[in-house]
Structure 1
Amino acid sequence: MRVSGVAVMGGGRNGRGTLVRTLALVFLATLLWLQFHVASLTSRSGSPPSGNESLLMLVPQELHRFLKDRRNSTAGSNSTAGIFGNLTISELRRQIEKANLEQRVFNEEAFGPLASDAPVIVIQVHARLTYLRHLIVSLAQAKGIEQTLLIFSHDVWDPDINFLVQSVDFCRVMQIFYPYSIQTHPHTFPGEDPNDCPRNIKRESALVKKCINAEHPDLYGHYREAKFTQTKHHWWWKANRVFDQLTVTKNHVGMVLFLEEDHYVAEDFLHVLRLMERTCKHSCERCNILSLGTYLKTYSYYADNKKAEVTPWISSKHNMGMAFNRITWNKLRDCASKFCSYDDYNWDWSLQHIAQGCIPPSQGSGGLSHIQSGLIAMVMKAPRIFHIGECGVHHKKNNCESTSVIEKVQNVLKTAKKHLFPSQLTLTNAAVAKKTKLRKGNGGWGDIRDHQLCLNITLNPELRLP
């Protein structure tokens, strides 16, 4: 009986052990099945995120609205541009004239009057909506943006772009419209007149043909192309407009920062701009242009986050994210005749020309006293403004909507985040030659009509073209 009892008790323990092992096996099998099932779902519907999807992951959710197509935007925006989608040329001109006369500042009731020394940010806009969206997203994330005025300067009236700009609600916003554009003058100067000389016609043939501008090819023997001349006209017009013609900036004494639609800003760009402005007053009185961008491919925020270099302003290096005040503008405007007659269709090369041959060198501290250039730049070694455009006037690709560059910039800034917002700047002087050779222009600006229009923009704010 004892043996039997022992046998019965042993059989009970074995039964419970088998049950536990069975349950454990079932649990493991279930766990493995769940893991396999989830992996299967992921492989079918959760493939690695595309460039656009990963880009959206780097943008705060509340700012996704700026990246949406207009048709997906919520109704009730303060934009009225939608009803102007199919304007005639005369109607388009009237709308542009009306907007320019009105000088409306959006969101002024929310943010109050603009302080006289607050940064004014002027953005030259053509028609690249995708890039503009991301610029706006970057501006929205910048610290201190609510203190600024954003002025969007357009050479195309586009309902979708107007809608996007007028949806900006994080600071004061104004739109100005270049009134002498190809869009408003498609078949007459400053656009392409049917009787204009073809670009590559020889001067002798042009004189025989008696095309309008036969006597005025550029220094390389080519005739004007409106798509190239427009950018220089637009840049000069907006600068005149902002400094000398707008009521809101009439008494402005602070910095005016010039951006383009395919730029992208770091969250501390305004903080750094203020630091640069203060450093100029105390340590570099000769510095009259601030540059927050760079075209270098590599840079170190760890080593260079607070470093700035003092150097003569060079158009090909320091034209991105540049800022100056009214004092510098007055010097530029005084050289209008040289700017407007220089045979180069690039506004920045034209500024280089007058910096070397018209603007007298500034006196004061800051090194480089031997440099005879009228424009001395303070340039951030670690950029706060980036160029994200892969397509533009000079460059075309099969896919101009690529967001790979934008994603790269955002990842750079994410990595550099702990090195932003320096408390002070350290200045160094660039090693430069004592004399810089005056540059020969790139041409494209030989037509006397362009010279006259450019100069008239300066002298006659109320200029009207037929």
Structure 2
Amino acid sequence: MLSATNGAMDKDSEELMNTNDTSEQVMALVPPELHKYLMVHPRNSSANSTEKYGTKNVSDILRVIQRLNEAQTIYNEDIFGPVQNDTIIIAIQVHTRLTYLRHLIVSLAQARDIDKTLLIFSHDYYDEEINSLVRSIDFTKVMQIFFPYSVQTHPTEFPGMDPNDCPRDAKLEQALKLKCNNALHPDLHGHYREAKYTQTKHHWWWKANRIFNQLQCTTGHTGNVVFLEEDHYVAEDFIHMLNLLRVTADRTCPQCEILCLGTYLKTYQYHSNSDKRKKHLTLSYIQQVRAVSEERRKRQHEGQTWNYQVYPNFYASTQKVEITPWHSSMHNMGMVFNRTVWENILELHDQFCAYDDYNWDYSLLHLSQNRPGREKFKVILCKGPRVFHIGECGFHHKKSNCNASTVISKVQKLLQDAKSYFYPSRVTATISAGGAKHNKKLTKGNGGWGDLRDQELCTNMTQMGRQLRKYIYFA
């Protein structure tokens, strides 16, 4: 389930996470030339930025993001050349978790061939410190786009929370007496909308529409778009693996519409001792998972609650990939698809926008399971993941002792241990039908999306066409 937050919610955990100092252990594993992306600078100037730090009201923010969206500026284009039709686009959905974003940028900076990509940062919260960080990136082309229907820019009206919106837990009879907005349309669980949840689905849908249908630089783009979030972390060979997956899919699975570079499984058993490693390799995958789960259970009982490890047969000279039906909660991290797939999704935009679920990924799953005359989306994924989730602090993780550096250092250590297995020359694909839970037909959504205004806004986002690029010069 993806984190859905706004500027006013979960302040304690978010501020705690953002004020965590980057530990010496983490810094030691980051090349010195990249430390600049982890340093907090005084709020008096912004590198490569047209705005100065200072408080802006809602009108100012709306004016600025409209101007920036119209400009469609691509930073560093003069250094790395224009966007080509086959350029890999990396779309990063950003909220406010600056600490995680810093480390994502550090991981991207270390990726081979990153200079051939375009990073598009899609923001639902305007923050000049975040802008300054993004615009300081000097290792590839960068663009920023700003979600114009955010809670931040609509604090007292839809798509934010209107004062006359029905209380979340109001009963239908009570809502009718109150004559509150959308009283006749609670969600399937009988609750009324909460903007802090609906925003994430709106943002994802707007971002995809914006990238494929509205930007001038993507008019003829036919390459891959990689979907990441601010609390992801990539391995240095993720682009290499992406290209291997694409070639493998074209050769063995032309019906595979989605590629996936990430996983949420947190244990990948790695043994430096060759005898142990040989013994472990003789076990089946299920046996390996059970054995490591038992080890993890024992460690948790002893007070060790979190660890990343590596399965040796996931990271090897010939690495394993799996072809299986796409499932939202398993294959939504480091998800990759192209314009052809997007157009297939867009044909069923009414299903996406009307489905009563505030999660964009579960809405895609509903769409996948109900495509007339077509099978569900198929995905080809790395068994040895190249994208990791480091977002242990945030809305869905209310930990009093949350420390971003602890998680990040674990991922860094995992990648260091697995480094000798990066850049495999080839992969071997296995086909899986998926488990019972994996293939279970969605009978109903998770709710949070019963409000007709959300469904209408979502639908309207598909109607906007490309804008002529306007060159704006700042004094």
Q: TM-score, normalised by structure 1?
A: 0.83
> What is the aligned partner in structure 1 of residue 313 from structure 2?
303
- Give the Cα separation in 2 of the matches to 1:203 and 1:462: 41
Confirm whether residue 265 of structure 1 aligns to residue 275 of structure 2: no
Larger mean Cα displacement after TM superposition, 113-122 or 397-406 = 397-406
The alignment of Structure 1 onto Structure 2 pairs a total of residues equal to 401
Would you identify which runs of 4 or more consecutive aligned residues in structure 1 move more than 6 Å?
none
1:80 to 50, 54, 60: 50
2:341 to 322, 328, 331: 328
Query: How far apart are residue 208 of structure 1 and its match?
Result: 0.7
What letter corresponds to residue 358 of structure 2 in structure 1? Y
Deviations 1:421-457 (A, max 9, x none): 0111110011436964234200000000000000000
Confirm whether residue 93 of structure 1 aligns to residue 103 of structure 2: no
Gaps of 5+ in 1: 1-49, 362-371
> What is the aligned partner in structure 1 of residue 159 from structure 2?
190
- Give the Cα separation in 2 of the matches to 1:294 and 1:189: 35
> What is the aligned partner in structure 1 of residue 42 from structure 2?
71
- Give the Cα separation in 1 of the matches to 2:354 and 2:116: 38
What letter corresponds to residue 281 of structure 1 in structure 2? D
Contact 1:82 1:163 in 2 (8 A): no
> What is the aligned partner in structure 1 of residue 5 from structure 2?
none
> What is the aligned partner in structure 2 of residue 353 from structure 1?
366
Confirm whether residue 319 of structure 1 aligns to residue 337 of structure 2: no
> What is the aligned partner in structure 2 of residue 408 from structure 1?
410
3-state DSSP of counterpart to 2:35: helix
> What is the aligned partner in structure 2 of residue 236 from structure 1?
205
3-state DSSP of counterpart to 2:457: helix
Deviations 1:82-121 (A, max 9, x none): 34x3112111101010000000000000000122112100
Contact 1:332 1:359 in 2 (8 A): no
Deviations 1:333-365 (A, max 9, x none): 11110100000000000000000012643xxxx
3-state DSSP of counterpart to 1:304: coil
Contact 1:331 1:359 in 2 (8 A): no
**CA RMSD between the two structures:** 1.8
What letter corresponds to residue 419 of structure 1 in structure 2? Y
> What is the aligned partner in structure 2 of residue 450 from structure 1?
454
Contact 1:182 1:230 in 2 (8 A): yes
Query: How far apart are residue 301 of structure 1 and its match?
Result: 5.1
> What is the aligned partner in structure 2 of residue 29 from structure 1?
none
1:289 to 258, 262, 280: 258
Gaps of 5+ in 2: 1-20, 269-309, 468-475
- In 2 relative to 1, CA 69–51 (structure 1 residues): closer, same or farther, beyond 3 Å? closer
What letter corresponds to residue 426 of structure 2 in structure 1? Q
> What is the aligned partner in structure 2 of residue 9 from structure 1?
none
Contact 2:323 2:432 in 1 (8 A): yes
Which has the bigger relative contact order, CA under 8 A and spacing at least 6? 2
3-state DSSP of counterpart to 1:425: strand
User: Counterparts in 2 of 1:107-126, with a 5 A limit?
Assistant: 107-126=76-95
What letter corresponds to residue 333 of structure 2 in structure 1? M
2:28 to 36, 57, 70: 57
> What is the aligned partner in structure 2 of residue 137 from structure 1?
106
- Give the Cα separation in 2 of the matches to 1:217 and 1:302: 49
Larger radius of gyration: 1
Q: TM-score, normalised by structure 2?
A: 0.82
Query: How far apart are residue 401 of structure 1 and its match?
Result: 4.5
Higher helix share: 1
